[in-house]
Amino acid sequence: MRHRLIDLTGGQTVLSGAISGRTLLSALIAATPSSAGPTPAFLDFTAIEIATASFLREAVIGFRDYARRSFENVYPAVANLAPTVAEELEFFVRTRGDVLWSCELGSNDNVTSARLIGELDPAQRSTFDAALELGAITAPELAARFADRQIGPTAWNNRLSALATKGLLVERKQGKTKSFSPLLEMS
């Protein structure tokens, strides 16, 4: 799923202000269909020259939070950020202790240069790194694999669920257990 922001904003290349951000948030929600399986929703910033923190807060973070609460299988990520937009977004998410997926997205929707914008706390980072290394993983598997850390399945599950809430990991139900895997592959 790809949302071209230049199309949703009427061709504007400078995106600023909370009101404009909320307007785009409404358009993004309306343009996002439900999905039967886990689906990345790329917010494509191609041709966007500038975006302010207040705009990014309302549109990007607002959409990510809404999608993760309301669209069970939609996982937002940002794509094709101009350096000025990437700098503004990175500064904004770091100051609030948040993190997002960012990547380059080609014309055929091929993902390259996937990375995280922002910073995870050490516990979440070690959990995320384990998911990157192992692929699909469950909390009981992490507890068994890292028994020396004396972290139980419930604590691992809380960490994995927090990363899924941020849209970094995809959550799938396997009977009574949930498995988690990275949304994108790091480049």
Q: Work out the burial of residue 165: count CB atoms within 10 Å of its CB; fewer than 13 is exposed, 13-18 middle, 19 or more buried.
A: middle
* Predicted confidence (pLDDT) per residue in 37-82, tens digit: 888 999 999 999 999 999 999 999 999 999 988 988 899 999 999 9
Average pLDDT, the chain: 91
DSSP 3-state of 187: coil
Question: Which residues is 106 bridged to in the sheet?
Answer: none
Dist CA 33 CA 74 (whole Å):
9
> Of 87-91, 133-137, 142-146, which one has max mean pLDDT?
87-91
- State yes or no: pLDDT of 4 exceeds 70: yes
DSSP 3-state of 32: coil
Residue 64 backbone phi and psi in degrees, to 5: -60, -45
For residue 88, name the pLDDT band (cuts at 50, 70, 90): very high
Output the pLDDT for position 163: 93
Output the pLDDT for position 65: 93
Residue 23 backbone phi and psi in degrees, to 5: -60, -45
Output the pTM of the full model: 0.89
User: What is the maximum span of the chain, computed from C-alpha positions, in angstroms?
Assistant: 55
Helix (H) or strand (E) holding 162: helix 153-165
Residue 137 backbone phi and psi in degrees, to 5: -145, 150
For residue 108, name the pLDDT band (cuts at 50, 70, 90): confident
Output the pLDDT for position 83: 96
Mean pLDDT along residues 112-128: 91
Residue 63 backbone phi and psi in degrees, to 5: -70, -45
